[in-house]
Structure formats: structure tokens, C-alpha cells
Amino acid sequence: MLSDIPDSLSQNLKDQLGNVLSSKVTLLDFSFVSGGCINHGGKLGTSSGDYFLKWNSAEKFPGMFEAEGKGLSILQSTRTVSVPEVVLVVEEKDYQCIVLEWISSARQSKQYWDLLGQQLAQLHQHNAETFGLNHDNYIGSLPQSNRQTSDWIEFFKDERIHSLVKRLVDSGQADFEFSNQVENVFNKLDEIFPKEKPSLIHGDLWSGNIMADTSGHPIVIDPAVYYGHREMELAFTQLFGGFTDQFYESYNEAFPLEPGFENRAELYNLYPILVHANLFGSSYLMTAKRIIKHFS
């Protein structure tokens, strides 16, 4: 129902959609398709067609949808992976929202996983001089710092792991012994991570952030983009499962990984595991401790 959308946001949406589309827009209906503690999201029907709308608290998550819109536009500009078109981002005092092209989901085609593997390999061949990005964004509901540096190990330590470990220690969930164990593993990273150029990565690629369009072709959503080590992305796809052997074979055929990736994957996944430990607690912290022990 349209009444589910906050009043101030609804009026702002109507006005700004009209400006973007260069025509008067009437909001017709709204139905939730997703929701949770961060975002409210659903199908917005208008006189100009259907869109996907999601909104949240501008105070709690400042700049979240502006960053998401930038990330989607960056991915779209590569002409590799397919993403929803960004129509509009609105930020006001209490609420912020993003309006995206509405994509009806369908069954995956037989070529779905082959295509996704090929497209991701092509995406990862878009390189930069430095790791990071020229703006920060979010990973889930946590801010993600993308300060640029030419050294992957420095980036992994300082922009991905340190702040999350500090949050856990400051909150009392982890102790200084855990922090020291992490530092000891950092001293071995030169021997573990292969040298690679900074690759453009989606940044939050798990099975919940991919879908099939009406042609059965892959669409990726909800990015947390930056230029990183491409193995970080492949490791993330393994963390919660859902990606087929066909996907990995297709990727490796197009852009082979360095030998020993399977032995390194768990260490890359220390980052999303620490994100989840900060958001959801002790079970993920136990996994992080096991990873650190394995590489100590």
C-alpha cells in the first residue's frame, strides 16, 4: 500500500521522479517484497511504470543509497555484469531511498552460471592503479572504508580487518589476545597472497545478491564495490554456498586463478566473517578465531 511509504518521502518521490522522467508522475501502489532491520523495499507502481523502491533511516545510514547508486553505475559502465538501472536517489532529513529499474525474476537459464562466471571474469579485468575506491560505501549495514593504497596487504589489513577487530574488542566481544593473534597472521600475508593488479569487484557477492531476469540471465544487486584482490570475490562466493561448479569452471577458463586459491580462500573470508561477527555475534567470532588459528 502507498500508505506504507513515509508521507514526506512519498511526496518527494513523486516530485523528483517527475523531474527525472520529465513528466508528471502519479504513485499508484506499493507492495513489500523485502524488508528487515536496515531497509524497507518493494515494488512501486506509478503512471510511468513499475520500479523497485527501498528506503531506510538517513540518520542511521548516511549516504548508503548514494554509495549504492554509484556502485551500480560503476558496474554498469564496465558492460560486463548486468545490474538494475539507477533511476533516482533521494536523501532528506529522516529518510533516504533509491529507485531502481524493476526487474521481474524468473528461472535461471541453462547458461546462467556459465554467463555469470564469464561476466565476473570480465569485470575483474577492469583494473586500477590502486586498491580501494574514491569514495566509501557500506558492507551490509556497516560503513566500508575504501582509502586508496597501492599495496594490497596494507589495504587488507588497514581498510578491511583492523577496524572490525577493534570494534569487537571495544564492545567486549573479543579480547586483546585475539587482536594480537590477528597481528601475527598479518606478518605472514606476504607469503600467502599472490601479487595481482587491483580488480574491480562487486564486493558483496553471495547468492542473495544475484537473480535471474525474465530471460534467465544473471543480474547482480546490492554491491559494495571497490578495487580489490579478485580472489577476495571468489572466496566470498564460497562462504555461504549456492554457486555451482559450472560457475567456477567458467570463471577459471576465462581468467585462471593462481594455484593454491582453495588454501587461501578462508583467509580472505575473514573480512565478511568479522562483518557478521560485529552484526550478529559470537558464532561468527568463533569462526574468525578458527581461521586465525589455522593461519597462525
Rounded Cα distance between 201 and 137, Å, is 13
Q: Which of 204, 213, 222, 245 is catalytic?
A: 204
Rounded Cα distance between 132 and 151, Å, is 10
Question: What is the largest distance, in Å, between two alpha-carbon atoms of the chain?
Answer: 62
How many beta carbons lie within 10 A of that of residue 274, not counting itself? Answer: 25
Whose cell is 531476469? That residue is 213
Q: Is 204 a catalytic residue?
A: yes
Annotated catalytic residues are: 204
